[in-house]
Structure 1
Amino acid sequence: MPSTDPLTLRIAIDRLTQADAHHYAIWVLNCPFPDGYVHCDRVWDETMMGLWESWQQFFSLRRLPAVPHVPSAYVPQFCLDELLDRVVPTPSTGAYTGRLMQGLGVSLWQWLFDGPLRQTLERSLGMAMGQDRPLHLQLEIRPPELINLPWEIIQPQPGRPALALGPQVLLSRTTSAVEALPRLELSPALRILLVLGQDEVGTDTPADQVLQLPQEAQVLKDLLELSSSRLNQGAQPALCQVQTLVEPDLKTLVHTLETGGFNVFFYAGHGVPGADGGLLFLREGTTLSGTELAQALVRGGLRLAVFNTCWGAQPDRQHGQVLPRSSLAEVLLHHGVPAVLAMRDSIADEEALAFIQVLAQGLAQRQSVAQAMALARQHLLAVYRFNHPAWTLPVLYQHPQFGGDLLRPPALAVTQLPGQAAPAGQAVVMRCLATPSRQWPLQGGLLRVGRLPDNDLVILEPWVSGQHAEIFGRHLLSSEPDQIAYFLRDFSRFGSYYFDGQTWQHVHRAEIALPLGTPIRFGSLEGQLMELTLEGSPRSSLLC
């Protein structure tokens, strides 16, 4: 079976110190074959400046600095049309913005990959295709004035897909100025900490437009948890558990990050750029810098940080100059966070939700971060169209030593004797009655319940023990050969509760019979309402 680990081609771009500000050096830092370490010089000329300026006029919601920081030449409309005609031939039908999107993408490709660099890329792609493995293309963009460019749209020629859309090429940005990554064990489940900070509300904002953060947090939580449950059974999706913090204080956030055992951090809220990674506004009067957040993320062992903010991938500017290594994504990467996903510009809430949902689905399918990112980018392009900037906004930064995996491969199926398997469509599952689409099957006739991530059903509630209980099936001597009775074995601190049709009964460190259709709560009567039932069966009549 071929390996799924990507081959890596890492390319660096930096300004030439002994030449004008327009001159840059491009060279290969890491290559799959020895002869691929080549270098070349490039000039960012007036044609590229004019094309970039025109692109911003159509696709940038915020005015970005010129590239590089020299007076940009004005390119008349007829000159721009002539340039686009050379790069992207005029179609019989089609929008001007689509030609402009392709024009910059193809021009960036031609500027970056030319001569020996193109040969290195083509040979690396050939090696990856021959080994049935993706090529991981990492761009290390050192000049701060080039950070704002949408490198994710580069494409070899008109009609060809952009490299960032995958799946043969997994595109990300990176940096070499980092320490070695510590060894982190892969997780069995996707554990997400969702933090909603203070929203940006003006003094004249109508009351009906002010976000209700608790309701928004619940919507996002359901969206993330339901992403894995909608996958087909053949995908072997991982469990997705989400804990939310709404406008937390600093102590609560740091403690939760360092002790919660999460592998993904998601933040949505107001913030501003800054020299040390910007400021996140957690709540009124409470801010957290990117440098401070990085320490908590690294101490907590998180592998991926996702930011739904318009400035997460944007460096700070002071006195008209772009500060190097000042964007939130770069600061987190330099402090040891393995992967950071942030936005290059403002993104609409609807677009962000669509992106997050598909990203979570990809991660729950045990795809690497870059693979899930490419899948989510494809979705944005398909839904919001090629000539809309939505698909160009997400930017992925990855540590050069990070392979991209969050979850370990699924365990082998449990061996079953003939007759043990439930009939097709009649699998025994534990179902959440508040969200019936969330179901956990009894694999091999066993379901482990608790707070720790190695359980089959992970419940992040304070009254649930690390290893709380087991639900299992057992053949009884007096029963038919194909009939199985189910039991609950509790070994928790606070016990479990089941409804017998009249009242809630408490079981503590004991074993009881558990008929199908029995409602259950673990640890407290305030806990989530669960039900042991057959897949596809209606809600239990005991609580009707």
Structure 2
Amino acid sequence: MPSPPVLTLRLALDRLTSTDANHYAIWVLHSPFPDGYAHHDRVWDEAMSQLWGRWQDFFSLRELPLVPHVPSAYVPPVEPSATPQINLEMLLNQVGPPLAAGGQTGRLMQGLGVSLWNWLFDGPLRSTLERSLGMAMGLDCPLHLQLDIRAPELISLPWEIMQPEPGRPAVSLGSQLLFSRTTSAVDALPPIALDRSLRILLVLGEGGSGSAAATLQLSQEAAVLKHLLEQSTSRLGAAAVVPCQVSTLVEPDTKTLVTTLERGQFNVFFYAGHGVPAPDGGLLFLQAGTALSGMELAQVLARCRLRLAVFNTCWGAQPDQRQNQVIPRSSLAEVLLHHGVPAVLAMRDSIADEEALSFIQVLAQGLAQRQSVAQAMATARQHLLTVYRFNHPAWTLPVLYQHPQFEGTLLQPMDLAVTQLPGQEMSRSQTPVMRCVDQPTRLWRMGGGLLRVGRLPDNDLVISEPWVSGQHAEVFCRTGLGAKADQSTYYLRDFSRFGSYYYDGHTWQHVHRSEVPLPLGTILRFGSPEGQLLEFTLEGNPSPAPLG
């Protein structure tokens, strides 16, 4: 189902003073009601440090080979004799009774989650949260809780596992309370138009060994992912189908990646491959000897107006560190957000391929159902928890960063996206088609309001002529608003190298990297005036008369 409107509660968290790293200030940046702008101070005490350390002992994957060390939350050094002895078992008992399943790992997961919640929501902030939740329930919409973590040493904490009390869902798992991280030190976003389809660029970077077998495995993984993503709408009703176009790049060089992004008009970017933290957003290894920094990637993603970037790479949500000091705003996710990418989904730790594949499939299904990014994220995280259990770290790994101005919606609502002819129910015989003029029995139907044209095999209409680009053009339908809500207009959008041609009844017109209305009955050629003659029409209509 499409996402309803949401209320937003945005909090900031930063070190209170530069002299005492244990003291933090927490305050409200944005509240749904005027008197909700509360603040309070908190001390990160030794009990929290020991609980966080024990949690890492069980759930951190940093001991895996070839995985860089990720810093824990920074705690000022103290003399061993001055360190109070904390009874961890007693602390966990205070949080909640022993779990029926999950053992010690389940207790640690629950214990840290409840402790983080109580540490963050204390005093007036808890009142603001409770009132905000009440308002959201009254309006029958979710509350989106956003956390702006300005103290870099606290970024590595799994805030996504926060839960108000034992037995209640974690903050990142619910449908009534959505969660993301954010940052306020960003420029304003340009206007974002809602799309009619998912257009995904799937990039698989260097697998590690660089061998022919590894490259073959990457190609096979790309094919599997492409199939899963494109089939993500298969269970939806016919009226709710969202076209999903997936283009893949396997171990591309930088020029190929940038060129594909600039020409493809994508709205979602998926990357899977090797990556390491670095001061400028980390490094992504596209192929052997070719690395791209997060800052370099951010430039092209923002310029190409990508809405969502998803990274299945180690430590994409973790900042870099030097000499045990965390470098502010150095994680891949933060760098992309600061450069204008509206939403970034990255991993807090290393995630297994099977877990990532399962997560991405459910995430794509949620997006195809017109859920917001945060809602689709929660659904996919619920799936990980169900499959891999509460006491397994898989569900804690994905981290969503979202620009404070971005509402998280990618696709048009269903009532604006359904394609039909004015005032009619579209039957099969009335389906818009692209028909070959010379061979009228050859036709390509326009399914889901979109017809993709190009030389690559993943297009709906594949034209093998040399002047046709890999992803040459698309025909789509735009439904009117207001009094014209029952009227639909078709458009031709060209993003090719040589352009497209259409006959207006008198002469051939050239359209290049722009869009024009496309009336039914229009004759077209793609790439060259000598190209194949095609007609955009309704299935069953008579063939056109010869051109004058």
Q: Given the two structures, how large is their TM-score scaled by the length of structure 2?
A: 0.78
Determine which of 367, 373, 381 is the counterpart of 1:369.
Answer: 373
For the aligned residue pairs, the C-alpha RMSD in angstroms reads 3.3
Q: Distance in 2 between matches of 1:70 and 1:187?
A: 48
Alignment of 1:160-179 (within 5 A): 160-179=168-187
Q: Distance in 2 between matches of 1:229 and 1:359?
A: 14
Q: Indicate conservation of the 8 Å contact 1:468/1:491, yes or no.
A: no
Q: List alignment gaps of at least 5 residues for structure 2.
A: 63-68, 434-443, 478-519, 541-548
Partner of 1:499: none
Q: Does 1:70 align with 2:76?
A: yes
Once the two structures are superposed, what CA deviation does each residue of 1:446-470 show, in whole Å capped at 9, x if it has no partner?
9755469xxx968798366525799
Q: Indicate conservation of the 8 Å contact 2:207/2:214, yes or no.
A: no
Change (3 A) 1:358 1:170: same
Partner of 1:508: 533
Once the two structures are superposed, what CA deviation does each residue of 1:406-464 show, in whole Å capped at 9, x if it has no partner?
11123356368899746xxx99899xxxxxxxx97767xx9755469xxx968798366
The structural deviation recorded for 1:282 is 1.1
Once the two structures are superposed, what CA deviation does each residue of 1:491-530 show, in whole Å capped at 9, x if it has no partner?
23279xxxxxxxxxx9623589979xxxxxxxxxxxxxxx
Once the two structures are superposed, what CA deviation does each residue of 1:3-36 show, in whole Å capped at 9, x if it has no partner?
9221110000000116521100000000001111
Q: Does 1:111 align with 2:119?
A: yes
The structural deviation recorded for 1:106 is 0.2
The structural deviation recorded for 1:67 is 2.3
Partner of 1:491: 524
Change (3 A) 1:211 1:350: farther
2:473 match: secondary structure = coil
Partner of 1:159: 167
The structural deviation recorded for 1:109 is 0.4
Partner of 1:280: 284
Q: Does 1:27 align with 2:27?
A: yes
Partner of 2:190: 182
Q: 1:111 is aligned with what amino acid?
A: W
Q: Distance in 2 between matches of 1:469 and 1:47?
A: 58
Determine which of 58, 64, 88 is the counterpart of 1:80.
Answer: 88
Once the two structures are superposed, what CA deviation does each residue of 1:167-209 show, in whole Å capped at 9, x if it has no partner?
111100000110000112111110001111111229xx9x867
The structural deviation recorded for 1:345 is 0.2
Partner of 2:36: 36
Q: 1:22 is aligned with what amino acid?
A: N
Partner of 1:484: none
2:172 match: secondary structure = helix
Change (3 A) 1:201 1:126: same
Change (3 A) 1:195 1:511: closer
Partner of 2:498: none
1:164 match: secondary structure = coil
Partner of 2:228: 223
Q: List alignment gaps of at least 5 residues for structure 1.
A: 431-438, 471-486, 496-505, 516-544
Partner of 1:306: 310
What percent of counterpart residues are identical?
Answer: 63
Determine which of 107, 114, 134 is the counterpart of 1:126.
Answer: 134
Q: 2:157 is aligned with what amino acid?
A: L
Q: Distance in 2 between matches of 1:419 and 1:400?
A: 40
Partner of 2:510: none
Q: Distance in 2 between matches of 1:415 and 1:397?
A: 40
Determine which of 340, 344, 349 is the counterpart of 1:345.
Answer: 349
Q: 1:266 is aligned with what amino acid?
A: F
Partner of 2:4: 4
1:402 match: secondary structure = coil
Q: Distance in 1 between matches of 2:49 and 2:135?
A: 35
Q: Indicate conservation of the 8 Å contact 1:427/1:441, yes or no.
A: no
Q: 1:66 is aligned with what amino acid?
A: S
Q: 1:154 is aligned with what amino acid?
A: M
Q: Indicate conservation of the 8 Å contact 1:469/1:491, yes or no.
A: no
Q: Which moved more, 1:63-72 or 1:151-160?
A: 63-72
Q: Indicate conservation of the 8 Å contact 1:199/1:211, yes or no.
A: no
Q: Distance in 2 between matches of 1:115 and 1:408?
A: 40
Change (3 A) 1:418 1:112: closer
The structural deviation recorded for 1:141 is 0.5
Q: Distance in 1 between matches of 2:230 and 2:349?
A: 27
Q: Does 1:414 align with 2:414?
A: no
Change (3 A) 1:35 1:300: same
Once the two structures are superposed, what CA deviation does each residue of 1:333-367 show, in whole Å capped at 9, x if it has no partner?
11111100000000000000000000000111111
2:108 match: secondary structure = helix
Partner of 1:532: none
1:293 match: secondary structure = helix
Q: Indicate conservation of the 8 Å contact 1:314/1:328, yes or no.
A: yes
1:90 match: secondary structure = coil
1:295 match: secondary structure = helix
Q: 2:52 is aligned with what amino acid?
A: W
Once the two structures are superposed, what CA deviation does each residue of 1:223-277 show, in whole Å capped at 9, x if it has no partner?
111112233446x131110111111111111122122100011111112110000
Q: Indicate conservation of the 8 Å contact 2:430/2:538, yes or no.
A: no
Partner of 1:398: 402
Q: Distance in 2 between matches of 1:124 and 1:419?
A: 43
Q: Which moved more, 1:79-88 or 1:23-32?
A: 79-88
Partner of 2:14: 14
